């Protein structure tokens, strides 16, 4: 094992990170996504640092195929944008660069964050500062494809190998800074088979109500990430144990705790989540959110009686009931309607006719009405 050294405020050498070689970690560059390799190589050739970071390194260490690749660099977003013509800068406070590839593939490139940056401010720093801004040790790993080395500032490799989930940021501040980290803790514990230590578990339960302050759009995105993970059933189970589920899907949570019918409803809900997980593992990364919504709300629609009329169900009534089950989560109307269409098709019920667009129907009706009026005026009825 190698050691990376830095300097303290007085200029003295200090140990900053452990550096694992290919022989020690076993991740050769040919295991990486080819496009991620191209991005890091081009940044390096332009004179910048470039590392594959976070979840991709974590997944490769536990022999899982990464679903996404993120890149960290010391190049500023404006510079990254000039290097990659197939990219654009996103974000208002902390700016990132999305590099686009065929088949709707996106690689995210982020500039190292500074310790001085708070609330997502656009302040950049060094790699060691960036490592201290990461949420958990298993995500604070930096893989250099050129040297085939992993730079580890917080013993993340050791924690992964021991199935241990540890926070980089102190527990009294990390969830206050970003409540969504509680959901990530649960997700990582399930997907990496890591135990949540007592103090971390206690802190999550203590701060769980902070999820109420998370924006609806961000919470919606986190729910879809869970549904897409292939581990939705165990993640939602763990969220219930950690008192987080009620802030994700409060309507469904309330139904689960209803006296009498709650137990059967809960069983049906998790049965549907198991089916979703099997479907996702079989088909690969699911992109159709409407399909996820179908699995997520099927048990609710059955329980509420929205589907009890069978093929006589009113399509838009089912749409309204599905949207109600998701509150305060918001899904686009098109995705909700497509989810209901999946349910109708599955049951072989007659689909409603597609309504014409407002603009189109207005023009058409006006045109026909005008023609009839003109015809009537030019050919008056004989008395």
Q: Which residues are the active-site residues?
A: 68, 70, 135
CA distance 32 to 150: 13
CA distance 17 to 72: 17
Give the bridge partners for 98, in sequence order: 88, 108
Asked if 135 contacts 184 with a C-beta cutoff of 8 angstroms, the reply is yes
Two tokens, residue 119? 């609330």
Contacts of 77 (CB under 8 A, 6+ apart): 89, 95, 96, 97, 109, 111
CA distance 67 to 376: 66
Report the first-to-last Cα separation within the chain, whole angstroms: 106
Give the bridge partners for 274, in sequence order: none
Asked if 51 contacts 72 with a C-beta cutoff of 8 angstroms, the reply is yes
Q: Three-state SS for 66?
A: coil
Query: Taking the CA atoms of the chain, what radius of gyration do you get in angstroms?
Result: 26
CA distance 10 to 14: 11
CB atoms under 10 Å from CB of 166, counted, come to 20
């Amino acid at each position: 094992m190698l050691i990376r050294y830095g300097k303290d405020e007085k200029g003295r050498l200090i140990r900053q990170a452990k550096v694992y070689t290919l022989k020690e970690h076993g991740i050769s560059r040919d295991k990486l996504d080819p496009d991620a390799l191209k991005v890091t190589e081009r940044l390096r050739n332009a004179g910048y640092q470039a590392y594959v970071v976070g979840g991709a390194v974590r997944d490769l260490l536990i022999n899982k195929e990464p679903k996404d690749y993120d890149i960290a660099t010391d190049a500023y977003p404006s510079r990254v944008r000039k290097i990659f013509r197939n990219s654009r800068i996103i974000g208002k406070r902390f700016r990132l660069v999305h590099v686009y590839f065929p088949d709707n593939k996106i690689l995210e490139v982020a500039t190292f964050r500074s310790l001085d940056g708070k609330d997502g401010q656009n302040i950049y720093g060094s790699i060691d500062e960036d490592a201290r801004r990461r949420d958990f040790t298993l995500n604070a790993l930096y893989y250099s494809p050129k040297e085939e080395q992993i730079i580890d500032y917080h013993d993340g490799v050791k924690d992964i190998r021991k199935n241990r989930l540890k926070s980089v940021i102190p527990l009294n501040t990390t969830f206050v800074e970003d409540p969504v980290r509680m959901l990530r803790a649960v997700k990582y514990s399930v997907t990496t088979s890591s135990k949540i230590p007592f103090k971390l578990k206690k802190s999550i339960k203590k701060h769980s109500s902070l999820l109420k302050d998370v924006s609806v759009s961000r919470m919606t995105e986190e729910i879809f990430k869970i549904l897409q993970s292939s581990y939705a059933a165990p993640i939602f189970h763990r969220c219930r144990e950690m008192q987080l589920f009620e802030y994700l899907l409060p309507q469904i949570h309330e139904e689960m705790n209803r006296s009498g019918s709650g137990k059967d409803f809960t069983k049906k809900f998790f049965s549907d989540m198991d089916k979703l997980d099997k479907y996702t593992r079989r088909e690969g990364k699911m992109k159709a959110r409407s399909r996820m919504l179908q699995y997520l709300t099927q048990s609710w629609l059955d329980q509420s009686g929205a589907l009890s009329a069978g093929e006589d169900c009113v399509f838009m009534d089912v749409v309204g009931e599905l949207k109600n089950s998701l509150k305060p989560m918001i899904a686009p109307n098109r995705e909700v309607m497509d989810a209901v269409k999946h349910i109708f098709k599955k049951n072989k019920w007659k689909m409603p006719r597609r309504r014409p667009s407002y603009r189109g129907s207005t023009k058409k009706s006006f045109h026909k009405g005008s023609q009839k009026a003109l015809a009537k005026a030019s050919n008056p009825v004989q008395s």
